[in-house]
Amino acid sequence: MRPAILLIYLTLTFLYLSLRCEGDRDDLAKSAERQGKEGIGKYWQKKNQYSIDGFATDIVARAGLEVFSD
């Protein structure tokens, strides 16, 4: 087998084995539970004010959350 093809094969095999679905993950639910509504609101205010393409999300106002100050 040619080296380039072997590298692609091994890479895809590794990805398949490492990314298999082994059940539902509850990390996000646990994090939200720990932070509570206020913690999520603070995170949204700090990190989610703009989309990846630079548009304002208005997420805090749309979710009806109070504005928090640091």
Which secondary structure element, helix H or strand E, spans residue 12, and what is its range? Answer: helix 3-18
Q: Model pTM?
A: 0.55
Q: In this predicted structure, what is the pLDDT of residue 70?
A: 61
| Helices vs strands, H then E, count in the chain | 3, 0
Each domain of the chain, given as residue ranges in start order, spans 29-70
Angstrom distance (rounded) from CA 49 to CA 59: 7
Angstrom distance (rounded) from CA 49 to CA 46: 7
What string of pLDDT tens digits covers the 70 residues of the chain?
688 888 999 999 888 888 777 777 788 899 999 999 889 888 888 999 999 999 999 988 888 887 777 6
